Copies of this chain bind each other. A is one copy, B any other.
Amino acid sequence: MARPRKPLLSRERIVAAASALVDAEGLDAVSTRRLAAELGVSGPSLYNHFRNKDEILDAVADTVSAKVDLSMFDESDPRDWRTALHDWALSYRAALTEHPNVVPVLARGPGRRPAGLKVADAVFGAMVRAGWPAAQATQIGALMRYFVTGSALGSFAGGFVDDATAYDPSDYPHLGQAHLLAEHQEKVDEGAFETGLRALLDGLAARYEAGARTKRTGAAPSDRA
């Protein structure tokens, strides 16, 4: 048919189809030929809208970043960084666990993805506004990303096989119950995430208090190892 009077494709349509395919069958299921077939066109057509396949996946990843709620960073008391960080982490994780297959793409960092940069901007800005020094605000953005993407990348509980004979007691004396993990996958992973998040925030709060104290007294920051 060659060129139609009305374009058959658009970046939006391509991204929507790619997202659906990634969610349903995983990253490996996305081939340019398969995706094009799903859209009723031939493979090379996609290259009129994206430079390559990676750019399509980047766009898919950015739609996930765009789902992360950031309202807690401008609505609340700027000094209550702990609550904001907590609520943001829950929203962040929820967005990723809804689309676990795109996490490896997201883990490449924001790059030039607008929604990814918006997230980084909001977190960093809020931490600085709350009184964290810039270097530590950066660290908080980083360590939160480590924890959230790590938790969404792969289930902990689901990483153990559901087969009691896989855990020979003479090799793994403490894994006698490990075959039960798969059954309680969601509960275990969510519980671990909540426990870790709370510990992380408790630990950061203690450091924040110590920082505020040294500011008042003018003492050097205590760096107990």
A residues within 8 Å of B by Cβ?
Answer: 104, 107-112, 114, 117-118, 120-121, 124-125, 128, 134-136, 138-143, 145-151, 153-161, 166-167, 171-175, 177-178, 181, 188-189, 191-193, 195-196, 198-204, 206-207
Q: Is B145's CB under 8 angstroms from A175's CB?
A: no
> What are 5 of the A-B contact pairs (CB < 8 Å)?
A108-B154, A117-B167, A121-B174, A121-B175, A201-B203
Number of copies: 2
Q: Knowing A109-B154, A120-B175 are in contact, say whether A195-B128 is a contact too (CB < 8 A).
A: no
In the assembled complex, which residues on chain B have CB atoms less than 8 Å from the CB atom of A175? Answer: 117, 120-121, 124
Q: Is A200's CB under 8 angstroms from B192's CB?
A: no
Q: Knowing A142-B192, A143-B192, A199-B203 are in contact, say whether A153-B159 is a contact too (CB < 8 A).
A: no
A151 to chain B, nearest CB (A): 4
A89 to chain B, nearest CB (A): 12
Separation of A135 and B128 alpha carbons in the complex (Å): 37
In the assembled complex, which residues on chain B have CB atoms less than 8 Å from the CB atom of A204? Answer: 199
| Extra A-B contacts (18), CB below 8 Å, given A109-B160, A143-B196 | A107-B154, A109-B155, A109-B158, A110-B159, A114-B171, A117-B167, A117-B175, A121-B174, A121-B175, A124-B174, A134-B177, A140-B195, A143-B195, A146-B151, A148-B150, A201-B203, A202-B206, A202-B207
A-B CB proximity, top 8 nearest:
A109-B159, A150-B150, A199-B203, A143-B196, A142-B192, A146-B150, A142-B156, A202-B203
A86 to chain B, nearest CB (A): 10
Q: Is B146's CB under 8 angstroms from A193's CB?
A: yes
Separation of A145 and B159 alpha carbons in the complex (Å): 11
Separation of A157 and B124 alpha carbons in the complex (Å): 13
Q: Is B141's CB under 8 angstroms from A195's CB?
A: no
Q: Is A156's CB under 8 angstroms from B141's CB?
A: yes
In the assembled complex, which residues on chain B have CB atoms less than 8 Å from the CB atom of A171? Answer: 114, 117-118, 121
Partner of A108, one of B118, B124, B159: B159
In the assembled complex, which residues on chain B have CB atoms less than 8 Å from the CB atom of A198? Answer: 203, 207
Q: Is B153's CB under 8 angstroms from A153's CB?
A: yes
For A138, the closest partner residue in chain B by CB is: B188
